[in-house]
Each structure stands twice: as structure tokens, then as C-alpha cells.
């Protein structure tokens, strides 16, 4: 069985297992199967040390056995990561992050905190559903729209948001079907990051 594309890291103990520098390197390398012998040679480390960390990662369910093969008096175990990417649940860093639903709560839609909360919930929900769909051999149907707009002044942001909200409500009403599969639509905007320069860094510190 192939590894899943994404796995949500929502267990603090499991996350602690993966966070050491060497184990992060091993997880990244094990997107492609490899044995402790091969990894030890690639990382220039003793095989016993690599084996120890592989056992810890395997016990945490972060890597899995692909095959076993005899090799000069011992059995070589070929391992691989159980997912192509491991995403950290934002709720692990903020215990209150997962207690509510950003889509249902009334909040300031122009607040950065609200955007981060809703985006974190989207990461959490989509990652879990994508992993479940992957295990079932089906594709999770999602869509992403991206655009960039340049505003002349801050007031344009509010007027744009109101106009976009009206357009989304109108289009959603035209497609909303009783008994259909509900979808959540997240439209968000934030300033595009500026290229970081030394002068910019000094300016940001003032």
C-alpha cells in the first residue's frame, strides 16, 4: 500500500518524536524507501544510531516497513515514511485553537487573528479528509482560487471585501442545493510579503 500524501500531526507525543533534527532528516529522506545501512552511509553515521532513531519513528507510526531481506548474517529492513508530508496541527501550539469553529463564530473579518484561525481550521480539516480519501483510493475534490489586487488606500480593502461578500453570496445561492454535499468557501486576503533586504529589516525593527 502506498504512503498517504499528507498526514496531520495532532498528537503532541508523536510530534516530539519527529522534531529532533536527525529524525526530521530521516523522515524527509524516507519519502523514498531505504535501509539503516544505506542511511548510515548517506548521513555518515553509525548504523546502530540510525537504527535506534528508525525504531522510535516506527513506534510512532511515522515510518513503516516496506520489505525485509537477508544481508550477511542479519536481516536488512527497508523503511519508508508513512506520508509524503507531515503537517503540524496549529492547535498543538495554541490549546484554544481547536475549541471553536472559525466559520460559525461571529468575528471581525478584517482581523488577522480571525484569518489565521480560519486558515488553521482549513488546514486541519482538509488534511484529515485528504488522508482518509487517499487511504480509500479516491480523490478529495477541492478547489483553490488565487488572485492579486493592488489597492490605492486602506479604505478600498473594506469596499472590496463588501463587494466580494455580496458576489460570493449571490453565486453561492445559485448553486446551493437542498440535500447536496456542503462545501466551505474561504476567501481571504493579506498583504503580499515584500522582498526582504537589509534596509527593510532595519526599517522593520524601528
In tens, the pLDDT along 45-85 reads: 999 999 999 999 999 989 999 999 888 778 899 999 998 88
pLDDT one-digit tens code per residue, 188-201: 999 988 876 555 54
Q: Do the Cβ atoms of 80 and 3 come closer than 8 Å?
A: yes
Which residues pair with residue 79 across a beta bridge? 34, 65
Q: Assign domain 4-86 to a CATH class.
A: mainly alpha
Provide the CA 59 distance to its chain's centre, in angstroms.
22
Beta-carbon contacts of 133 under 8 Å, excluding residues fewer than 6 positions away, are 139, 140
pTM for the complete prediction?
Answer: 0.64
Could you tell me the residue ranges of all domains in the chain? Answer: 4-86, 89-178
Q: How far apart are CA 122 and CA 103, in angstroms?
A: 10
User: What pLDDT does 199 receive?
Assistant: 53
Number of Cβ within a 10 Å radius of residue 82: 20
Between residues 107 and 126, which one has the greater pLDDT?
A: 126
Question: Does the pLDDT of residue 116 top 60, yes or no?
Answer: yes
Amino acid at each position: 500500500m502506498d504512503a498517504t500524501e499528507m498526514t496531520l500531526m495532532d498528537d503532541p507525543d508523536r510530534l516530539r518524536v519527529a522534531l529532533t533534527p536527525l529524525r526530521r532528516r530521516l523522515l524527509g529522506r524516507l519519502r523514498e524507501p531505504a535501509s539503516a545501512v544505506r542511511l548510515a552511509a548517506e548521513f555518515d553515521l553509525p548504523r546502530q544510531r540510525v537504527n535506534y532513531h528508525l525504531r522510535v519513528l516506527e513506534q510512532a507510526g511515522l515510518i513503516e516497513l516496506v520489505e525485509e531481506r537477508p544481508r550477511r548474517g542479519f536481516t536488512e529492513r527497508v523503511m519508508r515514511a508513512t506520508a509524503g508530508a507531515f503537517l503540524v496541527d496549529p492547535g498543538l501550539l495554541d490549546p484554544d485553537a481547536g475549541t471553536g469553529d472559525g466559520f460559525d463564530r461571529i468575528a471581525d473579518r478584517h482581523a488577522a487573528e480571525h484569518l489565521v484561525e480560519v486558515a488553521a481550521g482549513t488546514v486541519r480539516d482538509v488534511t484529515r479528509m485528504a488522508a482518509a480519501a487517499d487511504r480509500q483510493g479516491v480523490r478529495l475534490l477541492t478547489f483553490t482560487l488565487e488572485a492579486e489586487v493592488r489597492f490605492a488606500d486602506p479604505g478600498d480593502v473594506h469596499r472590496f471585501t463588501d463587494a466580494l461578500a455580496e458576489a460570493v453570496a449571490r453565486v453561492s445561492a445559485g448553486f446551493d442545493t437542498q440535500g447536496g454535499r456542503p462545501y466551505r468557501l474561504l476567501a481571504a486576503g493579506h498583504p503580499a510579503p515584500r522582498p526582504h533586504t537589509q534596509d527593510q529589516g532595519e526599517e522593520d525593527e524601528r
